[in-house]
Structure 1
Amino acid sequence: MPHFIVEYTDNLKEDIKVPQLLEEVHRILLSRKNVFPIGGIRSRAIELKDYRVADGTEDDAFLHATLKIAAGRSEEIKAEVCEAIFEVIKGHFEVAMNKRYLALSMELVEFSDLGTYKQNNIHSRF
């Protein structure tokens, strides 16, 4: 962990640069390697084709990001990392936000060790 997952409506295709967004988020997480093991960082983007936003009368769009982390980080670290990532997201969509109806959101999900199963040999590289 952490895993960064972004879901976005397909009407944002012209506004989202997925590789750039994921790279910027990775940069934030990689800069905190004392908090997040490098070998556990993952990100992915899911384009949504079936969705409905608000009353459905406009070409509304949304992006929702989820940061999943293992338990044990301080409240300060969690807040700082989430704020840094959300600032990247807002910056990424600043132009789009000024030209269309758009909702941006992000949530933090914290897993306990119970019920989380992992096997990873990537860590040995780092």
Structure 2
Amino acid sequence: MPHIVVEYTPNLGHLPFQDMLAAVTRRLAASPEIGDEADLKARVLRAEAFRVGLADEGRGFIHVTLRILAGRSPQAKKDLSQRVLAGMREHMPSLPAALTAYLSVEVVDMDRESYGKVRLG
């Protein structure tokens, strides 16, 4: 915990996702809500099939899901969300004029009672 899952559309595949993940994890690690930076686990997933509204082309999205253990205040969740947005935007290049993209962040509570974790090695 936390798990950071970035989903993106193939027309945004040129983005510097490694740099974005580095910025996001750095910003989250600075939050008082994060106890151990090694708990931050981030990955990027490409959405092969997608649609944005009614348009057949020219649109894309990046959606970041931040999964955290339940119990944080709404203010803490808002702060984490803002840190993710800032980290993603830190390395966001300009997009081609023919492309509109949407960046969103969702903070999701994980059930503390059922979550399990073991450190290997």
Same fold flag (TM > 0.5): yes
Which residue is equivalent to 1:57? 56
Structure 1 unmatched ranges of 5 or more? none
TM-aligned CA deviation for residue 98 of structure 1: 5.9
Give the aligned residue type for 2:67.
Answer: K
Q: Tell me how far apart the structure 1 counterparts of residues 82 and 44 of structure 2 sit (CA, whole Å).
A: 19
What fraction of aligned residue pairs are identical, expressed as a percent?
Answer: 28
- Match of residue 115 from structure 2: 116
Structure 2 stretches of 5 or more lacking a match? none
Partner of 1:27, secondary structure, is: helix
Match of 1:8 in 2: 8
Give the TM-score of the pair, scaled to structure 1: 0.81
Q: Which amino acid aligns with 2:87?
A: V
Which amino acid counterpart does residue 12 of structure 1 have in structure 2? L
Q: TM-score, normalised by structure 2?
A: 0.84
**TM-fit CA distance, 1:88:** 2.6
Larger helix proportion, structure 1 or 2?
1
Q: Cα RMSD between the aligned structures?
A: 2.1
Show the counterpart of 2:87.
Answer: 88
Q: Deviations over 1:16-72 (max 9, x none)?
A: 10110000011012213x421223110000012221222132231111110000123
Distance 1:72 1:121, change over 3 A: farther
Between 1:47-56 and 1:88-97, the stretch displaced more is: 88-97
